[in-house]
Structure formats: C-alpha cells, structure tokens
Amino acid sequence: MAHAPRLRRSHQGHPHLTQGKPMQLGMIGLGKMGANMAQRLLNGGHKVTGFDPAADARKKLESNGGGSADSLKALVQALPAPRVVWLMVPSGKVTDDTVDALLALLEKGDTMIDGGNSNYKDSLGHAAKCAGHGINYVDCGTSGGVWGLAEGYSMMVGGDEKVVDGLKPIFETLAPAKDQGWGRVGPVGSGHYTKMVHNGIEYGMMQAYAEGFSILKHKQEFGLDLHQVGEIWRYGSVVRSWLLDLTTDALGKNPNMDGIAPYVVDSGEGRWTVDAALELNVSAPVITLSLMERFRSRDNDSFADKLLSSMRNEFGGHAIKKE
C-alpha cells in the first residue's frame, strides 16, 4: 500500500511565528503556489491581502483569514505605504503586463517581489523599469511546489541588500526554517538565474531516476519490485533524496504508470539553463540531453526514427518494421 512520502526537509509542520513586528503585503496570483504561500504567511502572523482574477480564489483566501481585492488598484489602495507586493503569476507576458500595471499604481519606496519563474533577463528589464519609478524590485526564485505550505519553500533571492534585509520576516516565515532554505544570492537577476540552474539540475536528476528504474523494469526475469527498490535506496544510499522519496511513492501508487501518457512537458527553465551554458561555453551534456529527451517524448510520429530504420535497410538490408 502506498504511503505519503517522508520528506527530507529541515522543518515540518506549521511555520514558526514571525520574529518582531508582522508585515503586511499583497499577494498577486492565488493559484496553487500563491494561495499556499499566502496561507503560510497568515499562519506565521503576517497580514496578507490577495488579488486573483478568479473570485473563488479570493473568497478562499478570505475564508482562511486573509483579505482580498478585486483589482490591482484596489489591492494597492488596501496596503499601507511603503507597500510590498509579491507576484506569483505565469512568466512572460502575464508577468510583463502585471509589472507595467503596478508601475502606474505603486509609489516611490514601494517594493515589488517577483516569486514566479521569470527569465532572469526579463527580471533585469523589470528591475530597470521599477528603478525609473523609484520602486524596489526583488526577484525570488521559489521552489517547493504543492508541499511548500507544510514544509516551507526554498527561496533564492536577488536584489539590493538593504531592501532584502527589510523583507527578512517574510522570507523567514516562508522558508523551512528561519535560517535555512533561503538567502540573498546576489544582485537583481541572480535569484531567478539561480532558480533557472536549479531547475536544469532537476531535469537531469529526474531523467537519471527515470532511466535507472526503466532498466530495472526491463530485466523481467528478476521480477523486481520497483517500489521496494526505491524504499531500499531511500535509506543509506548515496542516491537518496527528496525526489527519490516522491518517485518511490509514485511507484507504490502506480507501479506500471497505468493511464499516464509518455509525454513530458517543460516549464522553459531547462531551455534557459542550456542557453546559459552555451553563452558561457560551459559543458552541460546531462542537462541538455535531459531536455532533449523531454522533446522526444512528445513526438508520436517520429520521422527521424522512421528514417533511421530506412537507413539500416539501405546499407545493411535490415528488415523494416511496418506500422
């Protein structure tokens, strides 16, 4: 019987209460991540007012002790100056549009935190725009997914040192522990850059686990129980990790991955990591190939594989398997 993964995090349970005076901030975007982060902040004693286009998301935050606003303008008006707003919206155009809209509403001395998966180059552009209005900009690469509410979030923060220092109570509450799982890694742009590479590494780790378990599964004469193997590896093994915990749990729930299509999407951060490696002339074959494998998973009618089969027939007379 499958069990919930035993997470290897430094802190579990409720977030610690904030030290000193609680902060008040606006959370823009109340999806899975934004809503959970807002709730963790509320649990830690902060005051959170949220905005999301979906009325149900706003109502849920209200029912959990937070405030809500039905527009960005109303959100800004509800916050005391100097204001702090945290963006948890999709990267790209949505983030661009939200930043531009906020620039017309915020005032000098306010702070904007982008906790989404923005490209670090976009973040540098956003920071420059904010600076022109006297608004502080902080980019925060955020990891933790659906487990963040209970376990805390890993946060890689980029921005002016004094500005980040003033936001410490927020980061300390969201993190797994006050002094663990978060930190200012450098100037503006460095937070999202570090998170980008983090996700690239994640691609490689996921691919290695997937390939290894696939090799085990194909050794049919041994009848290996992949869930059992994962459980063994979780303790004492050099390959143990939280990702292995989650993988093992998935194998316990669905050993043959029944009903799951062999189609793997990507958020874009793996691509950006490979782009950065090329720009810097850094060899990153594992991350690059793991990204290529995701692309390959989406090709249901591979012309390349058909051509390879045809080549073998042409030069060696090897049989071609017909559809």
β-strand pairing of 67-69 with 84-87: unpaired
Q: What CATH homologous superfamily does 24-187 map to? A: NAD(P)-binding Rossmann-like Domain (3.40.50.720)
Residue of 202, 217, 269, 293 marked catalytic: 202
Could you tell me the sign of the dihedral formed by the alpha carbons of 189, 192, 195, 197, in that order?
Answer: negative
Distance between CA atoms of residues 226 and 121, nearest Å:
42
Query: CB within 8 A of 41, min separation 6: which ones?
Result: 25, 27, 48, 170, 173, 174
> Does the domain spanning 197-307 belong to CATH 1.10.1040.10?
yes
Contact 134, 109 (CB under 8 A): yes
What residue ranges do the domains of the chain occupy?
24-187, 197-307
Q: Are the beta carbons of 48 and 25 closer than 8 angstroms?
A: yes
Looking at residue 20, its pLDDT comes to 52
pLDDT band at residue 14 using 50, 70 and 90 as cut-offs: low
Higher-confidence residue: 6 or 95? 95
* Angstrom distance (rounded) from CA 192 to CA 67: 28
Q: Which of 60, 151, 172, 195 is catalytic?
A: 195
- Which pLDDT score, from 0 to 100, does residue 300 have? 87
Per-position DSSP letters for 239-288, written without gaps between them: T--HHHHHHHHHHHH-TT-TT--S-----SHHHHHHHHHHHHT---HHHH
- Measure the CA–CA gap between 52 and 66, rounded to whole angstroms: 13
Find the range with the poorest average confidence among 38-47, 62-71, 197-206, 259-268: 259-268
Provide mean pLDDT across the span 178-193.
97
CA 42 – CA 62 distance, rounded (Å): 11
Query: What is the pairing mode between strands 182-186 and 111-114?
Result: unpaired
pLDDT, mean over the chain: 93
2-27 mean pLDDT: 61
The pTM of this model reads: 0.90
**Any idea which residue has 């900009």 for tokens?**
137
Check residue 57 and give its pLDDT: 97
- The alpha-helical segments, DSSP class H, found in the chain are 32-43, 55-63, 72-78, 93-103, 120-132, 148-151, 161-166, 168-174, 190-218, 226-233, 242-253, 269-280, 285-297, 303-316
Quote the longest CA-to-CA distance of the chain: 78
| Average pLDDT of span 30-38 | 96
Residue 202 a catalytic site member: yes
Beta strands 154-158 and 136-143 are antiparallel
pLDDT at 267: 87
Is there a contact between 269 and 200 (Cβ–Cβ < 8 Å)? Answer: yes
Residue 133 has pLDDT above 90, yes or no: yes
Per residue in 192-236, pLDDT (tens digit) is 999 999 999 999 999 999 999 999 999 999 999 999 999 999 999
Handedness of CA 164, 169, 175, 178 (dihedral sign): positive
- pLDDT tens digit sequence for 267-293: 899 999 999 999 999 999 999 999 999
Tell me how far apart the alpha carbons of residues 41 and 176 are, in angstroms, rounded to a whole number: 12
